[in-house]
Amino acid sequence: MIREVEAKTLLSHSKAPDPWFGVKYNMNLYRGCQHQCIYCDSRSECYRIEDFNDVLVKANAIPLLRRELASKRVKGTIGFGSMSDPYLPIEREYRLTRQALEAIAERHFPVHMLTKSDLVLRDLDLLEAINRETMALVSFTITTADDDLARKLEPGAPLPSARLKALETLAAHGIRSGVMLMPVLPFLEDSVENITGVVKAAHRHGAAYILTSFGVTLRDRQREYFYQRLDELFPGVADRYRRTYGERYSCLPLNHRELEHAFTAACGRLGIATSVPRWEPPSRAEQLALF
C-alpha cells in the first residue's frame, strides 16, 4: 500500500560529517521500501514503521526542503537513502528525489546518493550540475555480484548487474561513484570468492571506492522476518544463525579476518579507495578572495 503523509521536518543534521558517508545532513523522502531486502534493518521496532510493506510518501517534502535549505547557514553534504531508497519504483511517479535535487542544485549543496537502483541515471543531468558546483557522489549497495543470489536477498531491487552498469555510466560522466559492500551475510556471502568478486566487478565498472562492513546487525522484528525468509529460501541457514549468534545484535562472519584481509588486498591491487571522498566548504579566506 502507498499512502501520502505530511512531514513536520525533513533534514536531520549532525555537528560534523559522519565518518562513514561524509554526510552532514540526512533526509528520507519516503518511509518503508519497495525493494523488500530480507535483511533490512529498517524493519526494527525502533523506527516505528508498522508495516514495512507500506510505503509512506512525504507529500509536502519539497516545499519543506526548500524552507529548510534556505535557513541553513552551514553548507554540508546532504545524504539520500539512509532508511528508504530515494529511487524506489514509485519515484517514477512522484519524482520527489528529482525535485529535491533541483532544490539542492539551486542552493549549491553537495549530495551523496545511497541506492540500489539504476533509476538514478534519470537524474544524471542534475548530478552533473551539482558536481560542477560542489560534489555529487553515488554509492550503490552491492552485497554480491551473483544476480541469482541477489534475486532472493533483494527481491524488489534492480539486479547487481544493472547497478554496476549504472555505476559505469555515472563514472564515465565524471560522477564519483562507488559500492557499499554491506551487509555481508554470514553463511551466504561470507566467502573470499564473493568479496573479491564484488571488488573486481566494481573495478571493471569504474568504482572510485568501496565501503564495507562485514556481517549483519539483527534485532527484534527485523531478526524475526529475516529468519522467516531464510527458512523459506535457504533451509537450515536460520538455524545456523540461532546456534552461532543467539540474540546478538552484531553477527560477524566466523572468517571475518580472512575476508578483511582479502578485501584490503584486492582493493590495494586494483587501486580502489576504501573511504568516500569528502567535500570541504571553501575557507573564509578563499571566499573573500572572490571579491
* 60 or 82: which leads in pLDDT: 60
Segment 70-87 shows an average pLDDT of 94
> Which domains, ranges and CATH numbers included, belong to the chain?
2-276 (3.20.20.70)
User: pLDDT (tens digit, 9 = 90+) per residue, 119-130?
Assistant: 999 999 999 999
**23-27, 38-42, 110-114, 225-229: range with lowest mean pLDDT:** 38-42
pLDDT of the residue at 288: 47
pLDDT of the residue at 284: 58
pLDDT of the residue at 276: 96
User: pLDDT (tens digit, 9 = 90+) per residue, 166-209?
Assistant: 999 999 999 999 999 999 999 999 999 999 999 999 999 999 99
Q: What is the reported pTM?
A: 0.94
Q: pLDDT tier at 233 (50, 70, 90 boundaries)?
A: very high
- DSSP assignment of the chain equals -EEEE--S---EE-SS--TTT--SEEE-SEES-TT--TT-GGGSGGG--S-TTSEEEETTHHHHHHHHHHH-SS--PEEE-SSS-TT-TTHHHH-HHHHHHHHHHHHT--EEEEES-GGGGGGHHHHHHHHHHS-EEEEEE-S-S-HHHHHHHSTTSPPHHHHHHHHHHHHHTT-EEEEEEEEE-TTTT-SHHHHHHHHHHHHHTT-SEEEEEEBEE--HHHHHHHHHHHHHHSTTHHHHHHHHHTT-SEE--TTHHHHHHHHHHHHHHHT-BSS-----PPPHHHHHTT-
User: pLDDT (tens digit, 9 = 90+) per residue, 207-222?
Assistant: 999 999 999 999 999 9
